[in-house]
Structure 1
Amino acid sequence: MSGHGTPIPMTSRPAGPLNGTADVPGDKSISHRSLILGALTVGETRISGLLEGEDVLDTARAMRAFGAEVTDLGGGDWSVHGVGVGGFAEPETVIDCGNAGTGVRLIMGAMATSPITATFTGDASLCKRPMGRITDPLTLFGAQAVGRSGGRLPLTMVGAEAPVPVRYVTPMPSAQVKSAVLLAGLNAPGQTVVIEQEATRDHSERMLRGFGAELTVDETEEGRVITLTGQPELMPQDIVVPRDPSSAAFPVCAALITEGSDVLVPNIGLNPTRAGLFTTLIEMGADLTYENERETGGEPVADLRAKFSPAMTGIEVPPDRAPSMIDEYPVLSVVACFAEGVTHMPGIKELRVKESDRIDAMAQGLRACGATVDETEDSMSVHGLGQKGLPGGGTCQAHLDHRIAMSFMVAGMGAQKPVKIDDAGPIATSFPIFEPLMTRLGAQLVRSNA
């Protein structure tokens, strides 16, 4: 059984050309942060283009539980009347974050320096994920956390009565850890400092500045040093959420491996800390171009055009690129099956503690579809099959993971035989319109136990 209810088996059959425009949902990372930062302002923040997937809706419900007034205005437009930094009220019920790892970790950070107590839970997948990486630095502020073994959910966080600022070196490249510490630092006096050896997605830094926080970033021998001055008065904003590059990855990659395809994916956020997949695909020889490049709300944006690319070659993906594409390795491993030679993906140990063990999940599923995949604790290598492509014909386990489910559905579009997954339900957490969007482009997705 999945965490969302009755499993929804789905089969992706080899498709004809995929053609048209793919209007993917708003960026998930920016959507979460827009709601949380809006709740920490005094006044009304207006958000347009919010991703209305289950993960983000869970964050919206959580902000209401902490006292913010969050209103769905329709058509992706939302209003948040915030309570100010340090103004969170104590929730009356348990905060259920569903499948949202980003949501629960950022919310914990946002409430950890307020003198309130909150209990967090989630679905079966989220309750398996490690939270110690978040709760450990939050206890340095004076918060307390009590959860199941391994720091897993359900977990109760007792916010600090008298928070102190923190200087914290992140032990692994994680935007969630960095962001949780910065959000906690908002209600701590003085300066909170986060040091990361490898740069991770910087939406939190950009957006904190946009809301009026005093934040500096310095590149030093010690690493990337982010300094936040605590207890600011955040100012409400009008936010236009760019479309999600992680969601754009699926129609882009499907077009590259499906003969005759030509797909335009407009208004995609191309923050350099998020665009590693597209750089990698171009290095592999993909026919992928950026059109109408521009800047919106401090974030670089462009329209992506992806065409069938029968002459791609495998490459060694630089390990230092991993933070900028960590969520895209599953679908990259699918594309790698259609390239000549081996695509080696090192430095991806973080994939083992996502919604599922994504290295194992992709390796097992691709092998069931006729591919040769090698894996180590922190790497995956896919032996490409060239123009003949993936044989297909396998049934793959989604492991309650939206990106695993969508990656195998993309595989079936270009494979020789259909590819089936046991449960497409989790796709709704980040890309609720995936099925109709891909079908309009020409994909053949069938809900069936057959």
Structure 2
Amino acid sequence: MSETPTPRRFTASGPLRGTMRVPGDKSISHRSLMLGALAIGKTTITGLLEGEDVLATAAAMRAMGATIERGDDGTWTVHGVGVGGLLQPAQALDMGNSGTSTRLLMGVVASHGITASFTGDASLSARPMGRVIEPLSQMGAQFTPSPGGTLPLMMRGCLPAVPITCRLPVASAQVKSAILLAGLNTPGITTVIEPVATRDHSERMLKGFGARLEVEEAEGADGPERIIRIHGDADLVAQDIVVPGDPSSAAFFIVAALIVPGSDLRIENVGLNPTRAGLIDVLREMGGQIDLLNPREVGGEPVADLRVRHSQLHGITVDPALAPSMIDEFPVLFVAASVATGQTVTSGLDELRVKESDRLSVMATALRAIGASVEEREDGLVITGTGGTPLAGGGPVTTHLDHRIAMSMAIAGLASTNGVSVDDTAPIATSFPTFEKMLLERAS
């Protein structure tokens, strides 16, 4: 990511109209590269998200022995080394801003007999890694992190690793995925128990690549829980993967079309995995007109085209049980709530405090700076909307190197009187390099 800040002012726009596609799903793109590198044979990937986070994953897998190339037509090929075949990287693995790359690759390395050093940018280096370090240490991996359990971090994998049963104290798809990836090269059965279902791309894709994996819904002492078991010493088989459009990227344009008068926008090929589609359910409950067209399945993932029209939204109390299915979309939901009628109440969002930034605090400060009425609570925000009146605007708002904060405040600028200044749009390249260009095209 560029070290030079790129400030920009986003101003009120005309209606968002026409048809568009957002880049490929980031979660699936990461996992396609990792699993392709751990498979035997040639994996082809169409629609890979070519943001900086995903490219960091590609570079790391290359450094550990996989051959990864991009064709002129945008198709990526991965020649894997097989589970257990990773090589010692010659240099530190630079994760940039990508928490997903870091945590999942720590899982991959944990059950290989190699040592790897992980580094990252200032934002990533402030993020805690303890939730991943603890279970992987139980499997035998050894860690030397920086004070506070952060990057830079050195780890030594364990061969053979020890299978564990890990009950996650907090729902986290990244921690779950790290343990399952470590379990691929671990003799026996590695088990993860999660209190609520988190995004399940890892489970779907591990099965697709040939891993033996079982998922069971059970009644635990504190209510329903989800049990995932993966059988070790796995042999993965190369696949041809078509990556659907990222629902987290589509979220910004969905909210923009809902809050900008006169908008009627079609977003094609959006992934609608039920563990990721919570935002659409919440926005519909708020009165948003979002139609699902041509629903279909691509590579085991549900996909549809979305038609989104300007709507007068109203505040609701968001069910905290939905949080895992829309955890990355809350910043832009807060923008929608700011111009809705009445009060929107969110809770159960402790996870947002340990993302690229403390997204609860940062969004509360940013929205207040542009005229929104926001109360910050320990685990959520309470936002009293304007009833459809544009926000005053202002800034510059501080994004704290967080791509989703930058994009959310850009969308807020479209529904403001005086525009919204963002201190740095450079972080957007980590997940959505074409965001500003597409926004200009749709909102001109």
TM-score relative to the length of structure 1: 0.97
Correspondence 1:98-137 to 2 at 5 A: 98-137=96-135
Q: Return the alpha-carbon distance in structure 1 between the equivalents of residues 132 and 171 of structure 2.
A: 13
Shift of 1:392: 1.4
Q: Which of 306, 309, 312 is matched with 1:304 structurally?
A: 306
Shift of 1:38: 0.3
Shift of 1:75: 3.8
Correspondence 1:353-368 to 2 at 5 A: 353-368=354-369
Does 1:328 pair with 2:329? yes
Q: Which of 45, 49, 64 is matched with 1:47 structurally?
A: 45
Q: Return the alpha-carbon distance in structure 2 between the equivalents of residues 304 and 97 of structure 1.
A: 33
Deviation string 1:66-110 (CA, Å, 9 cap, x unpaired) is: 100001113431000001101110000000010010011101101
CA contact (8 A) 1:189 1:231 kept: yes
CA contact (8 A) 2:118 2:154 kept: yes
Does 1:38 pair with 2:36? yes
Shift of 1:20: 1.5
Equivalent residue number for residue 251 of structure 2: 249
Deviation string 1:205-239 (CA, Å, 9 cap, x unpaired) is: 00000000010100011310001011111000000
Query: Tell me, which stretches of 5 or more residues in structure 1 are unaligned?
Result: 444-450
Aligned residue type for 2:98: A
Q: Which of 207, 213, 216 is matched with 1:218 structurally?
A: 216
Shift of 1:416: 1.6
Equivalent residue number for residue 406 of structure 1: 407
- Identical-residue share of aligned pairs (%): 57
SS in structure 2 at match of 1:20: strand
CA RMSD of aligned residues (A): 0.8
TM-score relative to the length of structure 2: 0.98
Q: Which of 290, 295, 298 is matched with 2:297 structurally?
A: 295
CA contact (8 A) 1:22 1:251 kept: no
SS in structure 1 at match of 2:41: strand
Q: Return the alpha-carbon distance in structure 2 between the equivalents of residues 146 and 296 of structure 1.
A: 41
Shift of 1:442: 1.9
Query: Tell me, which stretches of 5 or more residues in structure 2 are unaligned?
Result: none
Correspondence 1:39-78 to 2 at 5 A: 39-78=37-76
Q: Return the alpha-carbon distance in structure 2 between the equivalents of residues 133 and 150 of structure 1.
A: 12
Correspondence 1:193-212 to 2 at 5 A: 193-212=191-210
Q: Return the alpha-carbon distance in structure 1 between the equivalents of residues 299 and 177 of structure 2.
A: 19
Aligned residue type for 2:180: L
SS in structure 1 at match of 2:324: helix
Aligned residue type for 2:324: P
Aligned residue type for 2:313: M
Q: Return the alpha-carbon distance in structure 2 between the equivalents of residues 44 and 166 of structure 1.
A: 31
Equivalent residue number for residue 392 of structure 1: 393
CA contact (8 A) 1:4 1:123 kept: no
Equivalent residue number for residue 271 of structure 2: 269
Equivalent residue number for residue 448 of structure 1: none
Q: Which of 278, 281, 284 is matched with 1:279 structurally?
A: 281
Shift of 1:139: 0.7
SS in structure 2 at match of 1:6: coil
TM superposition outliers: structure 1 runs of 4+ over 4 Å: none
Deviation string 1:226-267 (CA, Å, 9 cap, x unpaired) is: 010111110000000001000000111111111111111100
Aligned residue type for 1:27: D
SS in structure 2 at match of 1:386: coil
CA contact (8 A) 1:52 1:76 kept: no
Equivalent residue number for residue 436 of structure 1: 437
Q: Return the alpha-carbon distance in structure 2 between the equivalents of residues 102 and 307 of structure 1.
A: 33
Does 1:151 pair with 2:149? yes
Aligned length: 440
More displaced 10-residue stretch of structure 1: 12-21 or 83-92: 12-21
More displaced 10-residue stretch of structure 1: 374-383 or 204-213: 374-383
CA contact (8 A) 1:337 1:389 kept: no
Equivalent residue number for residue 231 of structure 1: 233
CA contact (8 A) 2:160 2:187 kept: no
Q: Which of 131, 137, 140 is matched with 1:139 structurally?
A: 137
Equivalent residue number for residue 377 of structure 2: 376
SS in structure 2 at match of 1:111: helix
Deviation string 1:278-297 (CA, Å, 9 cap, x unpaired) is: 10000000111111111111
SS in structure 2 at match of 1:150: coil
SS in structure 2 at match of 1:267: strand
Deviation string 1:120-165 (CA, Å, 9 cap, x unpaired) is: 0001100000101111100111100111111100000100032111
Equivalent residue number for residue 97 of structure 1: 95
Equivalent residue number for residue 447 of structure 1: none
CA contact (8 A) 2:409 2:420 kept: yes
Cα distance change, pair 125–75 in 1 and its aligned pair in 2 (3 A): farther
Equivalent residue number for residue 260 of structure 2: 258
Q: Return the alpha-carbon distance in structure 2 between the equivalents of residues 168 and 63 of structure 1.
A: 26
Q: Return the alpha-carbon distance in structure 2 between the equivalents of residues 185 and 166 of structure 1.
A: 9
